Amino acid sequence: MNNVSLIGRLTADPELRHTQSGTATTRFSIAVDRRVKTGEERQADFINIVAWNQRAEMICKYFSKGQRIGITGSIRTGSYTAQDGSKRYTFEVWADNIDFCDSKNSSSSSYSNNSYDGGNSYSNRQSYRQESAPAPSYSNGSNDDFVDIPTDEDLPF
């Protein structure tokens, strides 16, 4: 099974790009801390990440350099021949799921008072950070929004 879970900090602002067919993509790296023993110097591995379509758009809209991000995905390897004739190998993680790891109140957070609108307005990150749209509300706050589930002793598991 090829499944990877990582938490790290972005080493640079991610940039949204498009393939010739118009598919959104972004490539970036994250610094993932290694476990260290007491008294040892802290070390990190720098892992290359690739995201496609809506995930790429979301990352470019909501994340910036230094923010912690959670990535779940799979390892992809490849190879190519360089201009000097030597064979080079590639290693990257293709992101399947993205998680916010910084708190909403973090000073580096650019998504604290904004919502993901699902549109295509991701290219201008600076103008997005200056917006202050309120988060959407999905409830009117009444008890009618909830359904009472009867409890009995016969559980299905």
More confident residue, 157 or 44: 44
Mean residue pLDDT across the chain: 78
DSSP state of 12: S
Lowest mean pLDDT across 36-45, 85-94, 103-112, 136-145? 103-112
Q: Is the pLDDT of residue 108 over 80?
A: no
pLDDT digits (tens, 9 = 90+) for 55-87: 999 999 999 999 999 999 999 999 999 999 999
φ, ψ of residue 146 to 5 degrees: the values are -115, 150
Q: Are 4 and 93 in contact (CB under 8 A)?
A: yes
Paired sense of beta strands 44-52 and 4-10, if any: unpaired
pTM for this structure?
A: 0.64
pLDDT digits (tens, 9 = 90+) for 3-27: 999 999 999 999 999 999 999 999 9
Place of tokens 């799921």: 97
**Mean pLDDT of the region 146-157:** 59
CA 42 – CA 31 distance, rounded (Å): 12
